[in-house]
Amino acid sequence: MKRRTFLHKIGSILAVLGVTEAEWLTLGNRYYQALAQPNSRKLALLIGINQYSQIPNLSGCLTDVELQRELLINRFGFQGSDILTLTEEQASREFIEAAFSDHLGKQAKPGDITFFHFSGYGTRVKLKTSPDTMQNALVTANVALDLQDEKIVNHILEETLLLLLRSLSTDKVTAVLDTSYDAPNTVIGLKTRALQESAAKLAIEELDFLKQLKTQKLSNTPIVLAATSEPKQPAREGLFSGFSAGLFTYALTQYLWEFTPATKIQVALSYVENSLYKLGSKQQPALLSSQKNPDITSLQPDDIIGAEGAVSDIEEDGKIVHLWLGGLPPQVLLYYGVNSRFTLQTKEQLILRSRTGLTAKAQISKIEGANPLQTGQLVQEAVRVLPRNINLTIAFDTGLERIERVDATSAFAGFSHVSTVVAGEKPADYVFAKLQETPSRYGLFSLGGELISNTTGEVGEAIKLTVQRLAPKLSTLLAAKLWRLTENGGSSRLALKATLEIVNNISPRIIMQRETVRSLKTETSIKKPVQTRSIASLATPIVPIGSRMQYRVENQSDRPIYLILLGLNNNHTAVAFYSWETPQEPNTTDIKPILQEVVIAPGESLTLPQTNAASQWVISGPASECEQQLIFSPVPFSETLAALSTAKYSTVEQGPIGPLLNPLDVAQALLQDLHNASALKTEMNSTAADSYTWDVNNWASLNFSFQVV
């Protein structure tokens, strides 16, 4: 979506907040600042509603409250007694507004930090005062009352909430809204947190309350983070490993566990949006408020470090340790295996023994003179153990008839690397469903309901034939799932930075930057490059067709680092970076180029591809979303290069970034190379032979996603 269109669509909300367009464009990372600031009282009000009367229930809103509560306490120093939660029937309109007034309004003093979260349905309502426009509203637990054949809804207008936030005495006000307001007519895949528009009347008490708020003098400018940026965009919730959660809340809290955000909150939203895309949703989170000072920098208190979780309880005199693992990437958590290891700030190691959802039990490794454990201690990933037998999981849409599900089950059973479930019952990667406009055709969809290109059958075609045609696509999608499991920008100990740039005649234009944040070098000791103009002020970078692109990679470690680049282009076909070398042999006219390792010396940087006319990487059409994974190791990718070399590539296609003909073989070889690079695997003889074991000291994996227009 174009910047002008985006600003126009959120203009009414910005007006309520008292924010100009110019102020919006100078966004500082006040979300992180507000949470991390010391020496102030920190108050939070968290709302989550799964159970509604007379309308379909949601599944992940209570988990959202738990995710935020654990983050606030363990990562940002909130006291449990200062966090008020209202869930299910407690979260009525009257209770929410009263709790806001009493818990936040009456207690917050200037300089205090206040935080508000809402997870539940949103909708749009029409008011008598403005019959030609629909207004956004939050749906509370006591949805509606029927009085003398007249339906009265107990919604809280979004305008009311924004004015409440502005009415607080402190200027450190943050809100997260994991909801949306415009319900799609049909839903494939993930649940949507939006109800159809309502013609019912709003409770007179709500209208009176809004009128009263409008008479107050409102001075502060709150931060409001919303799950979506467009009116028609749905906020979705996903089914994970034993729990459901709002995709936005989970992605946001997971990011804040692992990272200390950079100066601009767009950097944080870029990470979050990348995570949402990998979870199957194209929703784009939005920041609906601003700080007037454009030179805001993140505060980084000494006692707050990035982590994958925290110690939540201790049993049997410290022998059994309970962990909360909200900082693990969502796509990794499902497969996170026994014998994975975490380290404490005091250097002790915890060995994972079992896991249920976001909680786990671990055992402390025996270390001489080990310090006694305490609840609240942060834990950082040290060793990641994943099973080798990971399948691609396809969910059957509930709109399929019973006989259609039987035929589809039989057809997919022919693939050794694919398993099937019923949508909504277990976690899945993609959805097999009918095309809405042509019910006699079948296709493969993302969990967010987006049709995967080149996966549809013909009109009236049997399910078996449609599924058989999917074979190459399924291998590609599984390969991408495997290399996404390597992502560890938050936990890697290799000191690396990668920048995606558009090359022009003046100076490279930075559009995206990723770096490991937990290496031995501190972030302040690394010299920051001068950042040039940003190509887009929204979270996801925009790259025009025809742009000449390059990666600039800096090896800030003390070891040579090897690199592999894999990715998906717009139609979910696999691509890779190739470093071709032509052997110089005399009197030979037909020499087959061979692949060579890409290696970066300690303290050096290089560009991919090299800056010469023969190896240019030019973005071609059509408009699309592209995703690429940069994977690093101090050990050569021997098996990966061998797998790449087995495919028969046309000499015409020997460009720097080209098609990957055997993506699944390459992905499996890559995972094995990372396993081979682990120095700890021989010590961990209790780890089964059917698992991969990766040491955070020996690999890094950074994700880049961008839009081509």
Which pLDDT belongs to residue 523?
Answer: 36
Residue 705 scores a pLDDT above 70: yes
* Contact (CB, 8 A) for 122 and 179: yes
Determine which of 51-60, 308-317, 559-568, 578-587 has the lowest per-residue pLDDT on average.
Answer: 578-587
What tokens does 691 get?
Answer: 């698992």
The identity of residue 75, as a single letter, is R
Q: How confident is the model at residue 2 (pLDDT cuts 50, 70, 90)?
A: very low
Residue 544 scores a pLDDT above 60: yes
* Contact (CB, 8 A) for 622 and 544: no
Q: What is the average per-residue pLDDT within 502-526? A: 73
Q: How confident is the model at residue 37 (pLDDT cuts 50, 70, 90)?
A: low
Which pLDDT belongs to residue 45?
Answer: 97
Beta-carbon contacts of residue 438 (< 8 Å; ≥ 6 apart): 459
Q: What share of the chain is helix, strand, coil (3-state, %, to 5)?
A: 25, 30, 45
Q: Give the architecture-level CATH label for domain 392-477.
A: 2-Layer Sandwich (3.30)
Which pLDDT belongs to residue 201?
Answer: 83
Dihedral angle computed from the Cα positions of residues 453, 456, 459 and 464, in that order, rounded to the nearest 10 degrees: 170
Burial 602-640 (b: 16+ CB within 10 A, else e): eeeebebbeeeeebebebeeeebbbbbbbbbbbbebebb
CA distance 3 to 21: 11
- pLDDT exceeding 90 applies to what percent of the chain? 55
| Bridge partners, residue 324, by sequence | 310, 359
Segments of 26-171 assigned E as strands: 42-48, 83-87, 113-119, 122-127, 130-138, 144-147, 150-153, 156-157
- DSSP assignments along 193-215, one per residue: -B---B-SEEPHHHHHHHHHHHT
Pinpoint the alpha helices (H) of 259-347.
Answer: 265-278, 330-333
What tokens does 385 get?
Answer: 């153990």
434-456 tens-digit pLDDT = 998 888 899 999 999 999 988 99
CA distance 203 to 248: 30
Dihedral angle computed from the Cα positions of residues 212, 216, 220 and 223, in that order, rounded to the nearest 10 degrees: 10
What tokens does 67 get?
Answer: 């995710």
| Bridge partners, residue 85, by sequence | 46
Cα atoms in the 13 Å half-sphere on the side-chain side of 402: 0
CATH of 309-384, one of 2.60.120.10, 3.10.20.30, 2.40.30.20, 3.90.1180.10: 2.40.30.20
Beta-carbon contacts of residue 555 (< 8 Å; ≥ 6 apart): 495, 496, 561, 600, 601, 602, 603, 604, 605
Phi, psi of 397 (to 5 degrees): -60, 145
Which pLDDT belongs to residue 24?
Answer: 37
Which three-class secondary structure state does DSSP give residue 330?
A: helix
Beta-carbon contacts of residue 83 (< 8 Å; ≥ 6 apart): 43, 44, 45, 46, 69, 72, 73
Which pLDDT belongs to residue 146?
Answer: 56
CA distance 267 to 279: 19
Determine which of 125-134, 333-342, 539-548 has the lowest per-residue pLDDT on average.
Answer: 125-134
612-667 tens-digit pLDDT = 655 688 888 788 889 999 999 999 999 999 999 887 665 545 568 888 999 999 99
Q: What residue ranges of the chain are covered by domains with CATH 3.40.50.1460?
A: 3-287
Residue 263 scores a pLDDT above 70: no
Residue 159 scores a pLDDT above 70: yes
53-82 tens-digit pLDDT = 888 999 999 999 999 999 999 988 899 999
Which pLDDT belongs to residue 6?
Answer: 36
546-558 tens-digit pLDDT = 899 999 999 999 9
What number of other Cβ atoms are within 10 A of residue 121's Cβ? 26
Determine which of 61-65, 296-300, 381-385, 581-585 has the lowest per-residue pLDDT on average.
Answer: 296-300
What tokens does 439 get?
Answer: 């019910």
521-532 tens-digit pLDDT = 443 333 333 232
Residue 383 scores a pLDDT above 70: yes
CA distance 271 to 250: 12
* Contact (CB, 8 A) for 602 and 529: no
What number of other Cβ atoms are within 10 A of residue 439's Cβ? 11
Residue 299 scores a pLDDT above 50: no
For residue 147, what is the enclosing H or E element? strand 144-147
Which pLDDT belongs to residue 616?
Answer: 80
CA distance 273 to 283: 7
CA distance 323 to 422: 31
Q: Name which of 695, 659, 703 is nearest 674 in CA terms.
A: 695
* Contact (CB, 8 A) for 519 and 529: no
Q: What is the average per-residue pLDDT within 369-396? A: 91
Determine which of 271-285, 415-429, 641-655 has the lowest per-residue pLDDT on average.
Answer: 641-655
Q: Name which of 339, 314, 299 is nearest 690 in CA terms.
A: 339
Burial 522-542 (b: 16+ CB within 10 A, else e): eeeeeeeeeeeeebbebbbbb
The CATH number that domain 3-287 falls under is 3.40.50.1460
CA distance 486 to 332: 8
Q: What is the average per-residue pLDDT within 312-329? A: 91
The identity of residue 42, as a single letter, is K
Which pLDDT belongs to residue 630?
Answer: 97
Pinpoint the alpha helices (H) of 435-497.
Answer: 463-469, 471-484
Determine which of 148-152, 175-179, 293-297, 568-572 has the lowest per-residue pLDDT on average.
Answer: 293-297
Mean pLDDT of the chain: 83
The identity of residue 669, as a single letter, is A
Residue 400 scores a pLDDT above 50: yes
Which pLDDT belongs to residue 18?
Answer: 44
Beta-carbon contacts of residue 607 (< 8 Å; ≥ 6 apart): 550, 551, 552, 553
Q: Which strands, in side-by-side order, build the sheet including 172-178? A: 83-87, 42-48, 113-119, 172-178, 223-226, 286-287
How far is the CA of 221 from the CAs of 18, 29, 178, 267, 589, in angstroms?
7, 14, 20, 21, 70
Q: What is the average per-residue pLDDT within 344-354? A: 91
- Residue identified by tokens 């966090």 is 83
Residue 323 scores a pLDDT above 50: yes
How far is the CA of 233 from the CAs of 96, 183, 345, 525, in angstroms?
26, 8, 41, 41
